[in-house]
Amino acid sequence: MVKRVNLMVASTVGTTLEWYDFFAFAMCAVLVFDKLFFSAADPFMATLLALGTFAAGFLARPLGGVIFGILGDRIGRKQVLVVSLLMMGFGTFAVGLLPTYATIGIAAPILLLVLRIVQGIAVGGEATGAILIIAESMPSRRRAFWTSFTMFAGPLANVLAAVVILVVQRLFGSDGFLEWAWRVPFFLSALLILLGFWTRRRVEESPEFVELASKRATVEHAPLKEAFATQWRRMLTAFFLKASENTFLYIFSTFLVLMATTYLGFERGPVMTALLWASLFEVGVVLVAALVADRIGRRPVLLVGLFLSAITSFALFTLKPAETTQMELQLFTMLCMGSHGIILGAMAAFMAELFPTRIRFTALSTSYQLASVAGGSIAPILGAILLKVTGSGLAVAIYAAVMSIPALIVVFRTPETRDNPAPDAVARVSPSAAAN
């Protein structure tokens, strides 16, 4: 029992801290970076360039997914998670040290881009590694519940990042925040990463991986090749589901901050407060949805979450400038984040159960991170362009709803995984067998 508690704490804390770094960058991209690192461009172009830098982290995630996925299937989940955590901590702390465009010119956004790529590679290994070490270590009858702790780490990180930014803004004011205090959230990541490193060093390797590794000690193993040869259909299922979920996440958070401050006319503080409470609400929804997924299955929960996320996006993104109250912004943000939380409650267990242990890290990490490029990386950028061109958020809601359609189809067509996870095989699959 103590080992299980240590694993849950280490995985949840570590994942939360890594996502804190990721979301701190996302929030500052629309609050600070357009003004300080891309000040030579006109305001709208500066916003797009800042969001483009944010998107670069997603473009790097598939590389991290492949690298860490192969390593995770060969040497184990634990070591990969430690390395990814330290890598993310370095990239985030270094952002706080960067000079701005006014100081070193074009070198400033270039360095910001490089560090964002470092963050992307790191989270490419983190996101799926934390899911798998829990899925392979905890009792299968409560797999959705246990893996949901890594899923609500995202909303929890949103809360942490929003709280830190709100506190810093109130302590130093809007001008002080923009001038220099925006660096504080990035410097704090050093202390947080040390905490995450300490907790992760104490956990043990996944029992499933240890058992499998002992059986294949002398067997040739090429996880990436085998994954694409034998699991491509299920990788597509994971891809479409993750792309839809990630689109909802970043239009409900990063793009919402941009829309609310530039289109609806809210100050930064009320927007960050709305996002904070909505993220806290989502944490509770994730846990409840996970318990339901353990009882009735993953597919019904996923289908409900995808459908509700599409519907509630229309309520949020059809709010009108100068007519929307703080209460309305808060309510609709909570509805959207809660709908997204239903997806998260079942998604981790569903994805882990799609693939056999032997190539699980590689297959899931590759499809998961490629989906993040198609979903989260471009969602805020497309949202900003659609808002600018149409003058309304309705087009953004339509875009999100369209992104949910492939996910609804593949989840509906995939057999339930709760009681029938993918079987494992120790023997290497031959090319002729893979073709059949």
Per-residue confidence (pLDDT) for residue 357, from 0 to 100: 81
Task: Tell me what pLDDT residue 331 has.
Answer: 95
When the candidates are 1.10.10.10, 3.90.340.10, 1.20.5.440, 1.20.1250.20, the CATH number that belongs to 2-197+220-415 is 1.20.1250.20
Residue-wise pLDDT tens for the chain (436 aa)? 556 677 777 777 777 877 787 788 888 888 899 999 998 778 889 988 988 898 888 888 888 888 888 888 888 788 888 888 888 888 889 999 999 999 999 999 999 999 999 988 988 877 788 888 888 888 778 889 988 888 888 888 888 888 899 899 999 998 899 999 999 999 988 887 787 778 777 777 777 777 777 765 544 457 788 888 888 999 999 999 999 999 999 999 889 988 999 899 998 889 989 988 999 999 999 999 999 999 999 999 999 999 999 999 999 999 999 888 999 999 999 999 999 999 999 999 999 999 988 888 888 888 988 998 888 888 988 999 999 999 989 999 999 999 999 999 999 999 998 887 766 643 333 333 333 3
d(C-alpha 436, C-alpha 425), whole Å: 16
**In this structure, what token pair is assigned to residue 435?**
């073709």
**Helix (H) / strand (E) containing 145:** helix 143-151
E strand spans, 228-323: none
**Residue 425 pLDDT:** 45
**Residue 309 burial (10 A CB sphere; 0-12, 13-18, 19+):** buried
Distances 215 to 71, 208, 423, 427 between C-alpha atoms, Å: 18, 11, 15, 9
**34 contacts 21 by C-beta, under 8 angstroms:** no
For residues 164-184, one letter each, b for 16 or more C-beta atoms within 10 angstroms of the residue's C-beta and e for the rest, the string is bbbebbeebeeeebeeebbbb
AA letter at 29: A
The C-alpha atoms of residue 397 and residue 298 are separated, in whole angstroms, by: 25
Inter-CA distances, 31 with 26, 107, 169, 315, Å: 9, 20, 11, 24
Nearest to 167 by CA among 27, 273, 279, 282: 273
Do residues 241 and 405 touch, judged by C-beta distance below 8 A?
Answer: no
Listed residue (361, 341, 342) closest to 351, CA to CA: 361
Per-residue model confidence (pLDDT) at position 218: 43
Give 312-317 contacts, CB < 8 A, sequence gap 24+: 312/336, 312/339, 313/248, 313/251, 313/252, 313/396, 313/397, 313/400, 313/401, 314/394, 314/397, 314/401, 316/252, 316/256, 316/393, 316/397, 317/251, 317/259, 317/393, 317/394, 317/396, 317/397, 317/400
Q: What is the pLDDT of residue 264?
A: 93
Distance, CA of 352 to CA of 234 (rounded, Å): 11
Q: At what angle do helices 107-135 and 360-372 cross, to 10 degrees?
A: 140
